[in-house]
Amino acid sequence: MGKSQAADAAFPSLTLHDLRHTAASLTISAGANVKAIQRMLGHASAAMTLDTYADLFDDDLDLVANARDDDRALSID
């Protein structure tokens, strides 16, 4: 069966870099820690991973802050 040019134009082109970024994003969303993602991507340091993907960890920081607030409130009661 031949390829349809219209179908090809509708499908976005992806690079290996795009796929790598998607894999990292999905792994972060699944709750993996920075060191696991660093090893998966082959980054030299966790700092490099955080520099690249820090914006994806923002929700985690909010959860940590809320948990700390809850712990503090329980210890005061």
| Within-domain flag for 46 | yes
Pairwise pLDDT comparison (69 vs 50), residue with the higher score: 50
| Within-domain flag for 5 | no
The per-residue pLDDT for 72 is 75
Q: How many domains does the chain fold into?
A: 1
| Within-domain flag for 23 | yes
| Within-domain flag for 39 | yes
Is the pLDDT assigned to residue 4 strictly greater than 90? no
Is the pLDDT assigned to residue 3 strictly greater than 70? no
CB atoms within 10 A of CB 28: 20
Pairwise pLDDT comparison (71 vs 16), residue with the higher score: 16
The set of long-range contacts for 57-61, using a CB threshold of 8 Å and a minimum separation of 24, is: 57/28
State which residues form the domain around 54. 16-76
CA angle 13, 15, 18 (to 5 degrees): 105
The per-residue pLDDT for 58 is 66
